[in-house]
Structure 1
Amino acid sequence: MQYIAHIRESDREIQTVEEHLLEVKGLAESYGEKIGVKHIAGLAGMLHDFGKFTNEFRTYILEAVNNPEAPPKRGSVDHSTAGGRLLYVTFHEKNIKEFTGKLAEIVGNAIISHHSYLKDFLNPSLESDYLLRVSEKKLAEFETSKESFFTYVMSEPDFIDYVEQAAEELKAFMKKEPSKSSEYKYMFLTKMIFSALIDADRTNTRLFEENKPFDPQENHDLLFQTYYDRLMSKIESFQQHENANSPINLLRSEMSEQCDRFAEKPSGIYTLSIPTGGGKTLASLRYALKHAQKYHKKHIIYVVPYTTIIEQNAEEVRKILQEDENILEHHSNVIDDDHDNDENQDGFMNSKQKLKLAKDNWDSPIIFTTMVQFLNVFYAKGSRNIRRLHNLTESVIIFDEVQKVPIPCVSLFNDALNFLKEYGQSSIVLCTATQPALDFVEHKLEVNTDAEMIVRIDHVIDAFKRVDIVDMATEQTFSNERLTDFIIEKIDEVQSLLVILNTKSVVKDLYEKLKESIDITVYHLSTSMCAAHRNSILGEVREQLEVGNKVICVSTQLIEAGVDVSFECVIRSLAGLDSIAQAAGRCNRHGEMGIRSVYIIDHEEENLSRLKEIAKGKQVAKQIFIDLKRDDSSHGGHILSKKAMDRYFQEYYTELADDLNYFVPQVGKEMTTLLMEPRHMNSYRQAYIHKNGQKKDIPLFILNSYGTAAEHFQVIDSMTTSVIVPYGKGKEIIAELNGNYSLEDLRTMLKKVQQYTVNLFNYEKELLIKNSGLVSYMDGKILALKEGAYSTEFGLDTSNESSLTDAIF
């Protein structure tokens, strides 16, 4: 009998179960081999759809295809459990050995979870979601599946031998990094195997659906060599500029050379502390391209704090490398699939399945993404994020403005980077003018010794001095009324002025006051606007600055991170020293105006009660300002010295020590405890033994709660829903969403749409629903704003009352 894995929509061609399992096994092996676990990953690949070797599933899929008007209920046949069951009954129920037993748990969990997310080995209710599936769930045709598997996929003796090879890989994996706990290793290995399986399964399914052969990932060494040559041509062209020998440009050139030389060092975690305006994008790219060639890295990945700066950085790199196709911008997940359980992806396509297969798996040579997306890969629920994890190995990963790691995620971030360094053969670059003390915290980052790429940092900071930081924050407070008067006074003295405040509401109010009070062009920027909209406004601002017109821009902190714009004067509402340094980087950016002033004020109308981190940063920075006022030689003699920055971050992290380990209030535990608590200390295990009698222990090696941890994980910025806005091409994309598209068309559309999205907080989403400002597409998986819900002046309008002329572009 021919057992069916998938039936192609276009021509009703059948992919057999054995074809699918062997092809997924091969792909998974190639992904796992990167960290020395080829057979462990291959084992997951060859068993994941083991449960499709049944008459029940064959009948089910044929019925679904032959009766599209009245198909059987999707997901009504469980095909995910059987592969995990085979491992459990073979290697865990009798004559159990340590490493084959642990292997059964790690691989079995990945298999039974491959249409949802990893299960808890022991959950808060003192039950094992893993055991409930592999041990207790009834599988009527399990013996039939087993017989077919050993007949068509791999003979039983060969299978036992394959498992033994996988067990040897597990043993070697566990021996590495003796300072790390077993649970740390179990967790990251399980996630790596899960990633390899998800991507191999989805990729093979997509290729079958598109009727395309597998195209192995090419070696990127030659590509990176070409890019390096183009970059060096660009750098050499700078030498022809008339001011090439100015002190600043000579220093930029020297720092770039230092990065080139540093690329010879082996993989590790390093720091690149080039000051703002020092050319860190080119310098870090130079390091990455040279290092990637020498050590055969597969990807160069830039991780930035905000979606706002992806386009600018990616565009700069595109121009230098003369490349478009091989550079991916991944801003956000446009598809609304928080409950990403696709147990119903059963071999026949609908719009939901197409969307899932269309998501990018980060297999591009050069990738730009955000901190939110990076953390989601490791810790968020569903299969869409973790699919990308294996492509973070054997990579060069550059964290631009790394000080923006969300405070609750510091420990999780450090653990992820340590894994990529220790097991993933990746090189990590922490790129910022204000290095955070990530090696100062409890779950510390294992930064290499002599990690800094740039020599004599304090000398470099002094040489790049372009501004004076004027402390007005320790003297008085400002309202928007008073601030307006101060701005009117200052704009008489300068041509351009940037104001950066901490909250959107205060920014909007100041913008409106200035428009009423002054006959000068005023611009407004906030995250309520989509990226394309913000870029359009920034383009106008740059034009005004270039021709020397009087211009004022009022913005939230989004303008601080990486936006290449230079004002004659900046006013910054008091915040952390890192934010003050970034704001200073928007003033006199290239030193073209001598020394200019950055005024630090304390804004009395900002409500920071829900912005604890900004409030704490403001508190610590204010104390350092006070110290300097009392003794101008303290903290290195100025507010942006390395000594001041080190002191700031150490005090800042000390103030927030209780918040660094992501806490899950629903279960009263930290995320690191749920993921990595040692077996002998596991409180759920202790409660289980107490509940079931002192001699009744749970029969598992691993007891951690992967599913519960993921269910409750949300990077602060991602507690939102991404929606498409009717701005510019976004309007055309919305109009196209009702069409019936191929997977290729959907992938292209999802990449194109990211510049035309905004993120809604829950209360904003509820207001839009109440005011009929939202419309859904693709069975509710994609949301878009109606035209009245978006304004050319302020962006998002939750009242859905933007005027007709304002809404049409």
Structure 2
Amino acid sequence: MTSMTFYARTSDHGYETCVEHLSMAGCLAGGFAQVFGHLDDGLLAGLVHDLGKYSDAFQRRIQDPDHSGLVDHSTAGAMLLVQHGCPLASMAVAGHHAGLPDFGSRGELEGPTYSARMNRAFSAGSCGPLALSKAWEQQLNIPQSAFEKGTKPSNSIAMNGKSGEQSFYSDMMLTRMLFSTLVDGDRLDAEFFTSNRENRTEHPLLESLKEYLGADSLASEQAPKWDKLRKASLMVVSECDTEDRARIKQLADIIENKANQFLGKPNKKPLDIKRCELLAQCLACGQDTSYGTGLYTLTAPTGSGKTISSIAFALEHAHTNNLHRVIYVIPYTSIIDQTVNQFEAIFGTDAVLPHYSEAPYQLKDESDMDEMDLKRALAAENWNAPIVVTTAVQFFESLYSNKTSRCRKLHNIANSVIIFDEAQTLPVPYLRPCIRAIAELVKRYGSTAVLCTATQPELQPLLNESFNSEHAQAREISPFTKDDRNSFRRVTIERIGDIALNVLAERLNDHNQVLCVVNTRKKAQYLYERLTENDGEGSFCLTTLQCAADRQQLLSEIHNRLGAGKICRVVSTSLIEAGVDIDFPVAYREEAGLDSIIQTAGRCNREGRHSASESMVYIFSTEGGCAPFLRQNIAAFRETANSQVDLNTDEAIRAYFKEVLYLRDGGTSSNDALDRQCILSLHSFEERMPFATIAERFKLIDTPTVPVYIPLFDEGSRLCEQLEHGDIDRTLFRKLGKYAVNVWPRHLEKLQSAGAVLAVGRGGKNEESCFILQDMSLYSSLLGLRLDDATGDGIFV
């Protein structure tokens, strides 16, 4: 085989040699990894990741794929790295197609684990994936000194070493980061060779890299020497850094101009004056070189302009500290459009990458995309954009994932400013692993994290634990003192005790404009029906029993009626609380967590048109129980309310979060309650790097609900018909998302028994049937899906 030409892939315009692909992917991965100080690991992984293509079996397959079976071409490179003492890079190589596997036990031979694969390869010897031509040694010419530069894990797998959770966690996160650089470098070069997309942001970089390496030399199967490959990797990081700095500088200039326009406006109202103080402070802190990368809090009341002020700090801070991008993490998809629209209006669509399932470009087939859609779709693969707006689910699940598609973007989280909007919503059952991931990004990946909220959770014990320090203090950006925050007070919170739902409905009818937030969808529907018994003009119900398409239309109508001073009575579940820009003169909130109550209060007198004393938020309890996951929050609220005279204070908020986070939950220790799936304990030597197991367990949204699709409007009907006929493409389920109502299994059984739904095809994950609502009498845009009305009457023939 030494005299043959070794190809990595083919396309319509010819063949790419193994040398070209491995050199290009290696230099890209090395450059990406240099951002967090691991150039040699990335370069090594890229150079050997497809080493198995130097085999007769793979070359037969590339020449005649129709008559040749699949060939394992990743195990050989993984084996070479582990033999040279580079197990972290080895695991990244082993998983660059199928995902990071569990490490497994040393002696096992069966199964998909890393150890089993290595053991099988070693046992097979010259008959297995290690049956390579010696040509790779001459063509790649990797010196022994290169392997010596590879990172040795702090908990040495090879030596059965054992140390604390902190260092083992760091080894696993580094493996994920190296995996990310490899996957991105591999995919970028593959796409560059096969389709040469000029609308890809990295296209000029790929062209200059190939020119530097020497296209003729690569085609003639001779890789540059190791020193030149390292210089090429440094060129990659230098070009990326220059481009990123220029983009951030441009956006920082834009936000400065916008801010100065706002700050310079005459005749400001008292509320605007306070907003200007926050904005000016965020600009100043961002420009201050003493505010280096690290952990920050931005604690400011609802309505103080946190969104614009936080992005102002982020861009100025990124420019001052040479960071590459801003990642804005939002807890709910229901409010992400609002933030994206704000940012696009200021910075333009080119600068903003919205990455969530219902982003408009995600709902299109590639053939229907315009240039901006395609640019965003490509950037979403690796988050190569100056401003990324995403969800907490996407962000944290990616950090603990083992999948190539999710992990590909991880290296671009390094050296970024990460804003966690509504930080109090970080999920309690996963709070320890979430805070640990934030700490790792700050400590080892050069990122700045900002916890942004009106109700800052009491996280100090977790910060001390995660930063491995007793003094892991977050630095506050907000200029507001306690008195300043009191000056923002726009409501008075009052507990009114138990009240029957029918009496509550009468009380709501006494107001022309009122918001009432309850804990269950059933209560919301009941109250809405009571409000509409007579006339019902201006009454609205908002729950997740309505599909997102209907909720968006209803919110728009609510906003218009409030602005016009018309009757507007809204009963809603908690979906209306965080970030929805509406303003009611009075609000009612069923007992819940104090953070939720304050979020509801943020929808009352939002613009400060009335005094706090006349803008009431009434807290009530009623019959009907609550979801089990709310019990601890309600108990903590009651404990806090019994000990605090005023619930709308910093002291009350700290007391509440202390109750929620650090007291025992039904006899369960607090650490268990804050890491229900034991994610952190899986990052230990005893568990032996179970990447796949962790990814399976770390699901921020893990409910057994099933979507029922509503054939609503022309689009919904067309999409449901497409699903029914089995005409399924990659975007269908994303498009169907805004016509979905998620129901519990017992409710689905009821709908099925009544013949109200049609089971069709297979689900999005090819695991279960999909369901389309057939009996549209059970659904209305105003009320949503009526689960109690589903009966079996009349369905027998």
Normalising by structure 2, we get a TM-score of: 0.79
1:618 pairs, out of 628, 634, 642, with 634
Q: Counterparts of 1:531-542 in structure 2 under 5 Å? A: 531-542=548-559
Indicate how the Cα distance of structure 1 residues 132 and 513 shifts in structure 2: closer, same or farther if over 3 A, else same: same
Percent identical among aligned pairs is 29
SS at match of 2:349: coil
Please identify, of 641-650 and 757-766, the stretch whose mean Cα deviation from structure 2 is larger.
757-766
Deviation digits for residues 562-596 of structure 1 (CA, Å, limit 9, x no counterpart): 11110111111111111111110000001112220
Q: Structure 1: which 5+ residue stretches go unaligned?
A: 92-100, 173-177, 335-354, 633-637, 665-669, 685-702, 739-745, 803-809
Deviation digits for residues 6-50 of structure 1 (CA, Å, limit 9, x no counterpart): 333xx2633333322222112211211110001111222222221
C-alpha distance in 1 between matches for 2:380 and 2:736: 12
Cα contact 2:294–2:448 (8 A) shared by 1: yes
Indicate how the Cα distance of structure 1 residues 661 and 653 shifts in structure 2: closer, same or farther if over 3 A, else same: closer
- 1:566 lines up with 2:583 in the alignment: yes
C-alpha distance in 1 between matches for 2:267 and 2:195: 54
Indicate how the Cα distance of structure 1 residues 424 and 463 shifts in structure 2: closer, same or farther if over 3 A, else same: same
CA shift for structure 1 position 552? 1.1
Query: What is the one-letter code of the residue matched to 1:80?
Result: S
Query: What is the one-letter code of the residue matched to 1:330?
Result: H
C-alpha distance in 1 between matches for 2:500 and 2:336: 33
Task: Show the counterpart of 2:231.
Answer: none
Query: What is the one-letter code of the residue matched to 2:138?
Result: T
Indicate how the Cα distance of structure 1 residues 27 and 727 shifts in structure 2: closer, same or farther if over 3 A, else same: farther
Cα contact 2:524–2:571 (8 A) shared by 1: yes
C-alpha distance in 2 between matches for 1:443 and 1:708: 27
Indicate how the Cα distance of structure 1 residues 116 and 419 shifts in structure 2: closer, same or farther if over 3 A, else same: same
CA shift for structure 1 position 147? 1.5
Task: Show the counterpart of 1:306.
Answer: 332
Task: Show the counterpart of 2:295.
Answer: 269
Task: Show the counterpart of 2:216.
Answer: none
Task: Show the counterpart of 2:237.
Answer: none
Q: Counterparts of 1:642-661 in structure 2 under 5 Å? A: 642-655=650-663, 656=665, 657-661=670-674
SS at match of 2:456: coil
1:453 pairs, out of 456, 461, 477, with 477
Cα contact 1:299–1:395 (8 A) shared by 2: yes
Task: Show the counterpart of 2:41.
Answer: 40
CA shift for structure 1 position 506? 2.2
- 1:226 lines up with 2:250 in the alignment: yes
Task: Show the counterpart of 1:367.
Answer: 388
CA shift for structure 1 position 387? 1.7
SS at match of 1:523: strand
Cα contact 1:123–1:705 (8 A) shared by 2: no
Q: Counterparts of 1:528-607 in structure 2 under 5 Å? A: 528-595=545-612, 596-607=615-626
Indicate how the Cα distance of structure 1 residues 799 and 774 shifts in structure 2: closer, same or farther if over 3 A, else same: farther
C-alpha distance in 1 between matches for 2:514 and 2:787: 30
Q: Structure 2: which 5+ residue stretches go unaligned?
A: 157-162, 206-239, 360-375, 724-728, 792-797
CA shift for structure 1 position 333? 8.7
Deviation digits for residues 628-683 of structure 1 (CA, Å, limit 9, x no counterpart): 4xxx3xxxxx102111111111111123414444334xxxxx221111x2x4xx3x
CA shift for structure 1 position 297? 1.5
Indicate how the Cα distance of structure 1 residues 544 and 452 shifts in structure 2: closer, same or farther if over 3 A, else same: same
Task: Show the counterpart of 1:330.
Answer: 355
CA shift for structure 1 position 460? 2.1
CA shift for structure 1 position 280? 0.4
Q: Counterparts of 1:770-809 in structure 2 under 5 Å? A: 771-772=757-758, 786=772, 788=774, 792-794=781-783
Query: What is the one-letter code of the residue matched to 2:656?
Result: Y
Please identify, of 374-383 and 409-418, the stretch whose mean Cα deviation from structure 2 is larger.
374-383
Indicate how the Cα distance of structure 1 residues 298 and 760 shifts in structure 2: closer, same or farther if over 3 A, else same: farther
Task: Show the counterpart of 2:204.
Answer: 215
C-alpha distance in 2 between matches for 1:369 and 1:764: 32
Task: Show the counterpart of 1:319.
Answer: 345
Indicate how the Cα distance of structure 1 residues 792 and 325 shifts in structure 2: closer, same or farther if over 3 A, else same: farther
Indicate how the Cα distance of structure 1 residues 208 and 464 shifts in structure 2: closer, same or farther if over 3 A, else same: same
Query: What is the one-letter code of the residue matched to 1:663?
Result: R
CA shift for structure 1 position 540? 0.9
SS at match of 2:476: coil
SS at match of 1:415: helix
Query: What is the one-letter code of the residue matched to 1:583?
Result: T
The alignment of Structure 1 onto Structure 2 pairs a total of residues equal to 698
Structure with more contact order per residue of length (Cα contacts < 8 Å, sep ≥ 6): 1
Cα contact 1:532–1:755 (8 A) shared by 2: no
C-alpha distance in 2 between matches for 1:141 and 1:485: 77
- 1:135 lines up with 2:119 in the alignment: yes
Query: What is the one-letter code of the residue matched to 1:521?
Result: G
C-alpha distance in 2 between matches for 1:800 and 1:293: 58
Task: Show the counterpart of 1:400.
Answer: 421
CA shift for structure 1 position 757? 6.4
- 1:119 lines up with 2:71 in the alignment: no
C-alpha distance in 2 between matches for 1:442 and 1:710: 23
Query: What is the one-letter code of the residue matched to 1:455?
Result: P
C-alpha distance in 1 between matches for 2:118 and 2:411: 26
Indicate how the Cα distance of structure 1 residues 779 and 248 shifts in structure 2: closer, same or farther if over 3 A, else same: closer
Indicate how the Cα distance of structure 1 residues 404 and 357 shifts in structure 2: closer, same or farther if over 3 A, else same: same
C-alpha distance in 2 between matches for 1:585 and 1:512: 26
Indicate how the Cα distance of structure 1 residues 730 and 44 shifts in structure 2: closer, same or farther if over 3 A, else same: farther
Indicate how the Cα distance of structure 1 residues 603 and 78 shifts in structure 2: closer, same or farther if over 3 A, else same: farther
C-alpha distance in 2 between matches for 1:356 and 1:56: 35
SS at match of 2:515: strand
Q: What is the Cα-based RMSD across aligned positions, in Å?
A: 3.8
Indicate how the Cα distance of structure 1 residues 159 and 793 shifts in structure 2: closer, same or farther if over 3 A, else same: farther
SS at match of 1:430: strand
SS at match of 1:228: helix
Task: Show the counterpart of 1:663.
Answer: 676
Indicate how the Cα distance of structure 1 residues 578 and 373 shifts in structure 2: closer, same or farther if over 3 A, else same: same
C-alpha distance in 2 between matches for 1:716 and 1:674: 20
CA shift for structure 1 position 427? 0.8
Cα contact 1:499–1:572 (8 A) shared by 2: yes
Task: Show the counterpart of 2:75.
Answer: 81
CA shift for structure 1 position 796? 6.5
- 1:5 lines up with 2:18 in the alignment: no
Q: Counterparts of 1:273-284 in structure 2 under 5 Å? A: 273-284=299-310
CA shift for structure 1 position 546? 0.8
Indicate how the Cα distance of structure 1 residues 37 and 511 shifts in structure 2: closer, same or farther if over 3 A, else same: same
Q: Counterparts of 1:9-28 in structure 2 under 5 Å? A: 11=12, 13-28=14-29
Please identify, of 652-661 and 373-382, the stretch whose mean Cα deviation from structure 2 is larger.
652-661
Indicate how the Cα distance of structure 1 residues 759 and 423 shifts in structure 2: closer, same or farther if over 3 A, else same: farther
Cα contact 1:773–1:799 (8 A) shared by 2: no
Cα contact 2:104–2:690 (8 A) shared by 1: yes
Indicate how the Cα distance of structure 1 residues 640 and 663 shifts in structure 2: closer, same or farther if over 3 A, else same: same
Cα contact 1:114–1:194 (8 A) shared by 2: yes
SS at match of 2:80: helix
Cα contact 1:206–1:357 (8 A) shared by 2: no
Query: What is the one-letter code of the residue matched to 1:299?
Result: R
